[in-house]
Structure 1
């Protein structure tokens, strides 16, 4: 080959910087963690932890850190209710239904402002369901049903019907008929003065009357 066509490199002296010792160590250690990463908590596992799992139901807020494989194995054997009785499990489920927060009775104290307002005026107002603590209570603290002259115990529908007529549970037929007549006259569209609330009241009164008639109380 003629000398004019021979390859002649432009750079005769090409120098390459050798790697530093720490760079060589990092290249050799493939299991080395990057900043912000943590090792899997499973024994002898060198993988990076990417999922957390609870340690115990008695240690809220404390977790193990696993790689995906060991997290899946741990979750298969995890049971929150392990070692608990059926009663304890039911109680725990009921507590979780309310966010594990205490609940209070809807009834107001008999010392509340609403209860005090009951005594204002000559007649006050009726409290058939003891929402403000005025119903008779037994030793257990539950509201006791008033004793009727006929010895009959009323159901929920009858009690609600008497409440719509603003009558106590001990009301008799004559009293129910008189109150029904009074409310119908008062709430009738021809005499209520255009009060829309009276129309709704009249509907409840008519429904209550039908319920009491069907049960034989009116």
Structure 2
């Protein structure tokens, strides 16, 4: 065949795509990898992306857990709005719900910046001489501590599983966790596995508190 009729490709690209790094390859193969904008499910043993919200507590309106669909259904199935309330408190809450429709109410008093409020504050200041603001500082400290210690259902249950009070700090949580691990582990009890169920609850509770930032 004549050279005039020979096939000559117009474009010839010999570039080779560089190999992916191990981190990139692992990220592509990880079915649980989060996409941009996604958050992890708040269940302590779940790696899936959160797709649903669930209320943390009746005392924390507008604050939610982020769950995947399966754990949201499980949480909502066991949700009890009146948990921890006596029969009398439940009836009182239901009566209030009928009267107010579940909407917040405000007392009929003067605004904090009004002239009447300023006069009342001056009158109280004359009765209680606190030049260094000691009582006001203590009150603000107590209010901020109470506001920062709002706990959801999962955190309260986790603290109960560790036999701790709601005000336990990180050091107390870690110490109690290590103590319960020693007491419930079969290797520390001559192979006795009767406390194995308690051990699993203790480990799950500690993971929950770690995920919520109470135990670091």
TM-score (normalised: structure 1) = 0.38
**Higher radius of gyration, 1 or 2:** 1
Larger relative contact order (CA 8 Å, sep ≥ 6): 2
Choose between structure 1 and 2: higher helix proportion.
2
